[in-house]
Chains A and B, each alone.
Chain A
Amino acid sequence: MSDLEDLYREIILDHYRSPRNRGELAVPPASRAEGFNPLCGDEIVVYLQLDDPAKGDEAVVQDIAIGGQGCSISQSSASMMSAAAKGHTVAEVRELSSAFKSMMSVHEDELGGTVAGAPEDADLSALGDLAALRGVVQFPVRIKCATLAWNTLAEVLAQAGVATSE
């Protein structure tokens, strides 16, 4: 059971039971993207409102809302992601996403930035609550649950017109 307790840390269950930023935003002005986990049927909807997309990397996430349904890992990851992204710049959100995916041993380049370094190089302290999801790596089939929200975030950033960092 110790592996299970490592997977389902209390903070994860807390975000699952009381998801942060749950709801919808009006589109437009907000942008919206949907993500699906085709294996287990989990669905995530991310609504994103930037202060000014023209500012590119320096645009600030004014508001973010999460919809959809799924398991505790996918939903808590989305909840924690929304809390971590709100009020931060696009550049900061990208760094956070890179650090998170690195923790999940995912190295693709979906946010347009370059993910450098091995997972052990990642600074878990920057992830805050999200570091609680590190136990997921021991359960490879669940990694897609944890990263679903982040892949959807990459899509909604593209929708909002800040797809590339250069």
Chain B
Amino acid sequence: MTIDTMGTPDPNASAPTRPDNGSALDVPSIKADFPILSNRIDPPLVFLDSAASSQKPTAVLDAMRHYYEYDHANVHRAAYDLAEAATNALESARAKVAGFIGATDPAEIIFTKNATESINLVARSWGAANLGEGDAVLLTQLEHHADIVPWQQLAAEKGFEIRWIPLTADAQLDLSDLDRMLDGVKLVGLTAMSNVVGTLTPVRHITEAAHTAGAVVCLDACQSVPHTPTDVSELDVDFMVFSGHKMCGPTGIGVLWGRRHLLEDMPPFLGGGGMILDVRLDGFVPADLPAKFEAGTPPIAEAVGLGAAVDYLEAIGMEVVREHEIRLTAYAMRSLTERLGDDLTIHGPAEPDLRGGVLSFAYRDIHPHDLSQVLNSYGVCVRPGHHCAKPLMRCLGVGATARASWYIYNDTDDIDALAAAIEASGDFFSP
């Protein structure tokens, strides 16, 4: 199963279902892997903000602690065993991340500080070398600001045009004019899944059209890699970015995957130690991949944590994760609608299998910020605001939404707690 075929999950792939919540996941035992869920108990934590950042399992925390207690030194260019152990830890994590997304060459995995930096790397390196007046970049109106602003910054310097794929009424991409929009486009910036409304985009379809038009595709996979099986060769994209902290890993590490030949042709992004082969008074020679794009001491412990997160998710199985989230999304859309009726507005696609585990909603005329404040008093963590997607907010015709998002440690009890807290907010604001 890939991002493109998620809409039709193979029924034969389903694991035996649990009678209580219909999920193939043993959520109570997964909850026990996440210390924060049992450390905050008054009120019990109902964490529904994983689209912003996920919680961390003990396995990740232990791996990072073990690294610092047993293996830490700076990486590369040292003869002692400890530095070799640290280097091995970093490179082992790189190989795990490569395997997790179906990349055959670990040197195509660049560690950055977050997905935002990964996109800025593509813009400032590939973009600056390849885009100029008369060129165009095609983005979608679903994009996060991280996939908008770097291109706007570069366009202001280079004079290329930015075009926007519009949305349908239910916040899906309107591709009716795609071929015409691609004329003259050199790069397509595309989210795999909206962080606001959960819309899954037809990545493979757009990639084929983009390649036919001679454009490269940079996929923002921040919301899809943590939640669904991902294979860069099936998606056929040219660059893909995601962050560690949304997939059970630590903050401070992001990933850029790119095709080797593209990365090799690109100039370095940040300059400094570690990214050179040679430095002379009159210039420098950049290092080979991936070091060329990793100036300075890399986030070593964070890479170790991300590697442990990959192990943790692979042990569960990404097919199982995706299936669990479709079930939970279907349950949430059905039960919230039944319970709250016409007072509830859910933004985005109506079909649960056309979306990830993200629900942006409005309740009566209560402002999302006020709604979230009341939910907080019940321990229910949702995020209000524009979710770094103001162009999408304007398409939806709202200034802000309240957003609930789930992950492997959420179950129907969490959804029920959300529904009860929303009802209570209604009693509070309009008794």
- Tell me the complex Cα distance, A139–B377, Å: 12
A/B interface sample: 18 pairs, CB < 8 A: A1-B428, A3-B377, A4-B373, A4-B377, A4-B428, A8-B370, A8-B428, A13-B429, A40-B368, A40-B369, A41-B399, A42-B399, A42-B400, A70-B367, A71-B368, A71-B384, A72-B367, A73-B369
Contact flags (1/0) for A136-154 with B, using CB distance below 8 Å? 0001001001000000000
- Tell me if A39 counts as interface (CB < 8 A to partner B): yes
Chain A proximity of B155: nearest CB distance (Å) = 22
Chain B proximity of A142: nearest CB distance (Å) = 7
- A-contacting residues, B352-378, CB 8 Å: 367-370, 373-374, 377
- Tell me if B113 counts as interface (CB < 8 A to partner A): no
Chain A proximity of B137: nearest CB distance (Å) = 24
Select one of B370, B374, B390 contacting A41, CB under 8 A.
B390
- B-contacting residues, A26-47, CB 8 Å: 39-43
- Tell me if A69 counts as interface (CB < 8 A to partner B): yes
Contact-residue bracket for chain A: 10 to 19
> How many residues of chain B are within 8 Å of chain A by beta carbon?
16
CB–CB A1/B377 < 8 A:
yes
- Tell me if A50 counts as interface (CB < 8 A to partner B): no
Known A3-B377, A7-B373, A142-B373; judge A39-B385 contact (CB<8 A): yes
The residue in chain B whose Cβ has the minimal distance to the Cβ of A5 is B428
- Tell me the complex Cα distance, A139–B373, Å: 9
A40 / chain B contacts, CB cutoff of 8 Å: 368-369, 384-386, 400
Chain A proximity of B234: nearest CB distance (Å) = 36
Chain B proximity of A126: nearest CB distance (Å) = 27
- Tell me the complex Cα distance, A1–B204, Å: 49
- Tell me if B393 counts as interface (CB < 8 A to partner A): yes
A145 / chain B contacts, CB cutoff of 8 Å: 369
Chain B proximity of A132: nearest CB distance (Å) = 15
Select one of A3, A13, A42 contacting B369, CB under 8 A.
A42
- A-contacting residues, B182-212, CB 8 Å: none
- Tell me the complex Cα distance, A108–B254, Å: 37
- Tell me the complex Cα distance, A81–B376, Å: 28
- Tell me the complex Cα distance, A40–B400, Å: 7
- Tell me the complex Cα distance, A4–B428, Å: 9
B368 / chain A contacts, CB cutoff of 8 Å: 40, 71
- Tell me the complex Cα distance, A8–B367, Å: 13
CB–CB A71/B370 < 8 A:
yes
- The chain B residues found within 8 Å of chain A, CB to CB, are 367-370, 373-374, 377, 384-386, 390, 393, 399-400, 428-429
Known pairs A69-B399, A70-B399, A72-B369 / 18 extra A-B pairs, C-beta < 8 Å? A4-B373, A40-B385, A40-B386, A41-B385, A41-B386, A41-B390, A41-B393, A41-B399, A42-B369, A42-B399, A70-B367, A70-B369, A71-B367, A71-B370, A71-B384, A72-B370, A139-B373, A142-B369
Chain B proximity of A117: nearest CB distance (Å) = 30
* In the complex, the 8 A-B pairs of residues with the closest C-beta atoms, listed nearest first: A71-B369, A41-B386, A71-B367, A41-B400, A40-B385, A41-B399, A69-B399, A72-B370
B370 / chain A contacts, CB cutoff of 8 Å: 8, 71-73
Chain B proximity of A13: nearest CB distance (Å) = 7
CB–CB B369/A43 < 8 A:
no
- Tell me the complex Cα distance, A159–B429, Å: 37
B386 / chain A contacts, CB cutoff of 8 Å: 40-41
Contact flags (1/0) for A116-146 with B, using CB distance below 8 Å? 0000000000000000000000010010010
Select one of A3, A43, A142 contacting B399, CB under 8 A.
A43
Contact flags (1/0) for A4-15 with B, using CB distance below 8 Å? 100110000100
The residue in chain A whose Cβ has the minimal distance to the Cβ of B367 is A71
The residue in chain A whose Cβ has the minimal distance to the Cβ of B365 is A17
Chain B proximity of A140: nearest CB distance (Å) = 12
- Tell me the complex Cα distance, A1–B43, Å: 12
B399 / chain A contacts, CB cutoff of 8 Å: 41-43, 69-70
CB–CB A4/B393 < 8 A:
no
Chain B proximity of A99: nearest CB distance (Å) = 25
The residue in chain A whose Cβ has the minimal distance to the Cβ of B400 is A41
B377 / chain A contacts, CB cutoff of 8 Å: 1, 3-4
B428 / chain A contacts, CB cutoff of 8 Å: 1, 4, 8
- Tell me the complex Cα distance, A141–B370, Å: 12
A70 / chain B contacts, CB cutoff of 8 Å: 367, 369, 399
A4 / chain B contacts, CB cutoff of 8 Å: 373-374, 377, 428
- Tell me the complex Cα distance, A71–B390, Å: 17
- Tell me the complex Cα distance, A151–B190, Å: 37
A3 / chain B contacts, CB cutoff of 8 Å: 377
B369 / chain A contacts, CB cutoff of 8 Å: 40, 42, 70-73, 142, 145
Chain B proximity of A12: nearest CB distance (Å) = 10
The residue in chain A whose Cβ has the minimal distance to the Cβ of B429 is A13
B374 / chain A contacts, CB cutoff of 8 Å: 4
